[in-house]
Amino acid sequence: MAVELRPATALLVLGAVLLAGSLGSFVVTEAVGESAVDPTYLSLEDTDRQLWSYTSTGYSFDRATLALNALVYGDPSAVRGQFLGRDMADWNVTDEPTEPIAADPTAAEATDPAVQWDLTTGSNRYVYLADAGGDGTAGEWLTVDYQVHDGTYLGSRHHIRAYTAPDGDGEWTAMQAHHEHWDWFMGRHVVTSVEKSQSHLERELVAGSSAPEIRRIPVGGDQSDFDRWLTIVDLRELGVTAGSLLPVALLFAVSGRFQTGTRRLRERLPTDDARMLVLAAGIVAVTLSVRVLGIQLERALDVAPKTIAFGLYPVLFVGLPTVTYLLARQLDRPRAFAGASLGFVAAVLINYSYLGVSHLSLTMLVYRGALAVALGLIAAGSSRDERRDPEQVSHVRLGVLLWLVATLLPLLRHTPLPV
């Protein structure tokens, strides 16, 4: 059965991609996006001031993003030292009449701290510090004091933004912790969970035998379930003070096994089916190699992750349609389209599994589907059927147009690449 895309259908698909790309570029910035929320406040102990419970992308309440989800009392320099080189104390969960720290029985188990947090960078977010008992009109906006992360910038990571009292006038540190991953096609980080990083932070703090006060309190957030709880940690009674790339031999071994597996596959499957699987495998290999190579280069090189992303993006942008076009030339049109589109879907699923991402918005699924269709059209246009019949609709041109729109549209909103 011939696989054709008539002009009217092409316009519909292109319109869907434009819509998905436009919406996607807005909604994936943060898990909850930017919106107006009621100015609810968190009371700070031993002070007459309050914190607005959300972070914001600007000096405005109607640009709220993620909610603050941890508040640590104690010397701010000591709190920072806990993340940057000092061993964390052996902490246990206090017996408080609030929500348990962990949802699973192993989360609050006392273990030796295993995470080395590193200083990192990220887009600035602001918090509002108001006078207690006021209406929110008297106060000031605070910028982030420092940021730390556990993980990799070009992979997935737990990311914490920390805010402290201005001019050192207060013994508290407010934190916003979230889990995010680098999306190569959107050219930015996508937040997929807040609760995951909040629990991760708590597990670090409860490891060991010392016993600071750690508890959760309800704060009445209304944008998502995890906005409704705030982790409180009290360090004041503890007296805490401040203070390679993959081997070449391995690559050859993997290459040898791939060639052996390909040879056996050809012996057992019809030639066209084997070629279709090779096409799918090629797309998977290009997609995952960019992800893995980016993470390895980030760990091995002392350069900004954005520089690595800028260098590797052409491999994805040009490499995927090129590999698709070349590997589909010996296939008929249906197998070419199926091999390319299903191969990209498999690459997406494997990639998210590797990153530990389990939740995606419908918009992101539609967007990835549009990319799969674009590669499928390029493959169909490269197939031997299409090359033998020049009167057919040019699927290559339609596929390339779809690919360009779908990949370039999200990048127009943030040049250079934002965090």
Tell me the pLDDT tens digit for each residue of 22-49.
454 443 334 444 555 666 888 888 788 8
What pLDDT was estimated at residue 6?
52
Strands 188-193 vs 213-218: parallel, antiparallel or unpaired = unpaired
What pLDDT was estimated at residue 312?
94
- The SS3 of residue 354 is helix
What pLDDT was estimated at residue 25?
41
CB 109 within 8 A of CB 117: no
Residue 334: its H or E element = helix 333-355
Residue 231: its H or E element = strand 229-234
What pLDDT was estimated at residue 127?
93
CB 265 within 8 A of CB 275: no
Report how far Cα 275 is from the mean position of its chain's Cα atoms.
33
Residues of the chain with pLDDT below 50 are 1-3, 5, 7, 22, 24-33, 86-113, 208-209, 225-226, 242-255, 258, 415-419
Got the DSSP string for 280-296?
Answer: HHHHHHHHHHHHHHHHH
What pLDDT was estimated at residue 386?
75
Residue 161: its H or E element = strand 156-164
What pLDDT was estimated at residue 135?
59
Q: What interhelical angle do 305-327 and 333-355 show, nearest 10?
A: 160
The DSSP call for residue 88 is P
**CA–CA distance, 313 with 176 (Å, rounded to integer):** 30
